[in-house]
Structure 1
Amino acid sequence: MNEIKVDIIQIRGSSYEIGKKISPYYLANPIIEQFKQLTNPSTDHTETKALFSDFAPHLLDELHGLADGLKMSMDDTLTLSSGFNNRKPPALGCTAFVDNSHYIRNYDFGPDLYDHCLSFVAPIKAFGSIGYNLQLIGRHDGVNEKGLAIGLHFVSNKGFQKGLAAWSAIRIALDTCATTEQVIDLFKQLPHAACYNFSVGDAQGHHVVIEATPDIVSIRSSENGINCVNHFQDPTLSTYNRDDVTGSANRYNFLTRLETLGVHQKDLFRLFATPSSPLFYENYDELFGTLHTIAYSFENKHVITALARGQALEVSLEKWFAGEDIKFDKLIGYKK
């Protein structure tokens, strides 16, 4: 077994302070070099700043803090971690289920292309959130202080264009949206670079999958639970799917056959996080291994999360945002 570690970062303060205090976790992190290959040196920094000024101006302050902490210019930091005008991303895999009571999700990829950071942040001028970092300020998934939960699911690079990375879109949503409806409105305005599904649920019981291409945003909803994997369900978007969606369809069909009504959060968590589960993958060398599982209960406002084969961490959202830090600084998991 090989060990996987994630730093747990807990920061309350201004967005500038959050950026500066996160930077030490990346100074010796080899993922920085990976992101330099993903980013585009021809990024228009004026255009990037304008985009963030329109949708999340506080994140420019966080980027300033990162720049100072990393001892980089602001322009280089925008190129490195804004998520705007990146090169085409590699294929990611993810599975989620959302209903009135729960949000549960696996993230599947390779540990060498993983930030290894789980951030708890409470900015002054935005909603606080808990989520796994991607490209420093972005998030794979997370839940905010209003009980909004959201995660990304890569579909394809078909129609790829200059735009915002899915993980930066998720961070903007966590920081600025309290409801699923607000996320829908936001995602209809953002310039999406690639094709992604976004699984979304809120404290009011409104859950949807947002199917977003660079040209079209479609909404898939259900009064009962809704599944989200790595292909579009909207027939008008089928041409954006990858040529082979067998694995994604198998996961979707498995979840569809489950009886989830009344299932406890911890039971759903085990379903996703147990290595023998059809939703758990260990093809890490092919960039398709389960790295983390995250579950949120809209009813008891608790987050449960763990790395692959690791011990679960349970956190009260209300207690953390009331000022009670958790007493752990790392998560540890294992891959074959």
Structure 2
Amino acid sequence: MTFHALDVGSGDDGRWAAHAQALWPIAEGWMSEESRTADGEIRARRLFEEHMPELVPVLDRLAGQLDTPGGSTFLTHANLRPFFSGCMQIGSDGTLLRNYDLSPEGCEGAIVRSDFLRPVIGMQEALWGLLDGMNDAGLAASLTFGGRFVHGPGFAIPIVMRYLLETCDTVDQAIDRLSSIPIGIPQNVTFVDRNSAATVFTGPDIPVTRAPDACAANHQHLAVPDEQEQSSRTQERLSAIRRAGTDVEAALKPPLYLSDYDKWLGTIYTARYRPTEGRVTYFWPSESWEQSFGDFAEGTRTVTIGRV
């Protein structure tokens, strides 16, 4: 699988647009029927303005660069089609470690440094959202699917991750802000800053709720059905995360490292964020790639995923 590292700056000089235009045929497929209507466009814009006002100028700047019918509505990430994945994550002692699990064709594979409102580095999804990332204040965050197949009105989580990292400095501030944002499907979000780490459960049918500790797999406050547990092994992986902590070697081995790519449960990458250092390293079984605010290197890496 090929990963790209891109510095898109403030998004107004064509670098972001060149990448986004190439992905637009795929991204457009995420749009729901509602989001393709005039009324859906209006509702998406109003929802974004209400909950992410600081990002409205960035949205308009990027939409102008994308210059594609439906592009502005898509970039709100409001009422997109739901998607479900795997993943695990843990925060401890200033470190955030996560595995991102999906099918390879479903991952954008773009490590992006941006300066929209502030410096942010993360794994991009859906053109400007984030699967995980960190900001220059020393805050890092990542997401996992919450394991419950329910869907409601609200945002796709990647844009919310972007918003929180663009506007928050601490774990507590991010959780407080997340509590007022409607989320379309159940998600678990883990935050790490200089002094603390926490995981919260969120979704369209529950309030934001702190987890017992700063780690998550693919369930929330309720156990998943037996068949789902057998395929995702979420309880087993959560127990393994708690035992291993932020050990990268453990994350690169079963049961934390998954290989069911045809079932959208294969590990695409492992990321270790050290946000107070402004540093992230992406790992695969035989390779790693470090990036930082002080030394961000654009380029391309083709890596082997899966365990041989």
Is TM > 0.5 for Structure 1 vs Structure 2?
yes
2:22 is the alignment partner of 1:28: yes
2:308 is the alignment partner of 1:331: no
2:65 is the alignment partner of 1:69: yes
Alignment partner, residue 311 of structure 1: 287
Letter in 2 for 1:270: E
Change beyond 3 A, Cα 1:207–1:84: same
Letter in 1 for 2:255: P
Assess if the C-alpha contact under 8 Å between 1:310 and 1:331 holds in 2. Answer: no
Alignment partner, residue 8 of structure 2: 11
Change beyond 3 A, Cα 1:95–1:129: same
The structural deviation recorded for 1:131 is 0.6
Q: Across the two proteins, how many residue pairs are aligned to each other?
A: 298
2:218 is the alignment partner of 1:230: yes
2:97 is the alignment partner of 1:109: no
Letter in 2 for 1:231: H
The structural deviation recorded for 1:310 is 5.2
The structural deviation recorded for 1:230 is 0.7
List, as ranges, runs of 4+ consecutive aligned residues in structure 1 with deviation greater than 4 Å: none
Alignment partner, residue 287 of structure 1: 264
Which of residues 35, 47, 52 is equivalent to 1:56?
Answer: 52
Separation of aligned partners in 1, 2:298 and 2:80? 33
Q: Deviations over 1:182-209 (max 9, x none)?
A: 11111110011111111111122x2111
Alignment partner, residue 322 of structure 1: none
Letter in 1 for 2:119: G
RMSD of aligned alpha carbons: 2.3
Alignment partner, residue 122 of structure 1: 115
2:133 is the alignment partner of 1:142: yes
Letter in 1 for 2:93: N
Which of residues 36, 41, 46 is equivalent to 2:33?
Answer: 41
Separation of aligned partners in 1, 2:91 and 2:205? 26
Q: Give the TM-score taking structure 1 as reference length.
A: 0.81
Q: Which residues in structure 2 correspond to 1:173-212 (within 5 Å)?
A: 173-204=164-195, 206-212=196-202
Change beyond 3 A, Cα 1:316–1:8: closer
The structural deviation recorded for 1:298 is 4.7
Change beyond 3 A, Cα 1:176–1:300: closer
The gaps in structure 2 that reach 5 residues or longer are none
Separation of aligned partners in 2, 1:169 and 1:26? 19
The structural deviation recorded for 1:58 is 4.7
2:243 is the alignment partner of 1:257: yes
3-state SS, counterpart of residue 271 of structure 2: strand
Change beyond 3 A, Cα 1:26–1:215: same
Change beyond 3 A, Cα 1:10–1:27: same
The structural deviation recorded for 1:7 is 1.5
The structural deviation recorded for 1:53 is 2.4
Q: Deviations over 1:135-189 (max 9, x none)?
A: 1111111111111111111124544111111111111111111111111111110
Separation of aligned partners in 1, 2:20 and 2:8? 15
Letter in 2 for 1:53: E
Alignment partner, residue 203 of structure 2: 213
Change beyond 3 A, Cα 1:7–1:242: farther
Separation of aligned partners in 2, 1:156 and 1:17? 37
Q: Give the TM-score taking structure 2 as reference length.
A: 0.87
3-state SS, counterpart of residue 303 of structure 2: strand
Change beyond 3 A, Cα 1:335–1:295: closer
Alignment partner, residue 161 of structure 1: 152
The gaps in structure 1 that reach 5 residues or longer are 320-324
Which of residues 81, 101, 111 is equivalent to 2:75?
Answer: 81
Q: Deviations over 1:196-245 (max 9, x none)?
A: 111111122x21111012132211254xxx3211101x3xxx27x45523
Letter in 1 for 2:271: I
